[in-house]
Amino acid sequence: MTDTQQTHRSLPALMTLSDRAAERLRNLYSGAHKDQILRISVGTRGCSGLSYEMNFVNEALPTDERVEDQGLTLLVDRKATLFLTGTVMDYEVKDLESGFTFKNPNEKGRCGCGESFHV
């Protein structure tokens, strides 16, 4: 390799969807949130400092990153990309609750109640 050649490593996907998350999102997009897109951002909250925020929006903001996986589209606030790169969004159903969860390789810890995280 010469000095002018550079090697590039592939970057992980910004976000991916588990099969369960894709199925749930597909149901939401075809029902109550038809013609809307899920937008994910990171805000400040809780004892660890950061929290995942999700809202259905009618259109993307100019600063949103578009994520496409399993034939579905979702938006990620560009400011959140630093915190979310490589994250897998899942959907879990438990006895008393259900909802989207995030398996984020950037997390260094979570608060005791699970409401917030830090990187």
Query: Higher-confidence residue: 57 or 95?
Result: 57
At the fourth CATH level, which superfamily is domain 15-108? HesB-like domain (2.60.300.12)
Pairing of strands 109-110, 49-57: unpaired
| Mean pLDDT, the chain, integer | 84
Torsion of CA 42, 54, 39, 117, to 10 degrees: 20
Structure tokens at 118: 């830090």
State residue 4's pLDDT score: 57
Rounded Cα–Cα distance for residues 70 and 118 (Å): 28
Q: Report pTM.
A: 0.80
- Average pLDDT estimate for 6-20: 80
26 pLDDT more than 80: yes
Identify each DSSP E strand in the chain by its residue range: 15-17, 37-45, 49-57, 64-69, 72-77, 87-93, 98-103, 109-110, 117-118
pLDDT tens digits along 70-113: 999 999 999 988 888 899 999 999 888 888 988 888 776 665 55
Pairing of strands 98-103, 87-93: antiparallel
Where does the pLDDT of residue 51 fall: very low under 50, low under 70, confident under 90, or very high at 90 and above? confident
Torsion of CA 69, 7, 77, 39, to 10 degrees: 0
Where does the pLDDT of residue 54 fall: very low under 50, low under 70, confident under 90, or very high at 90 and above? very high
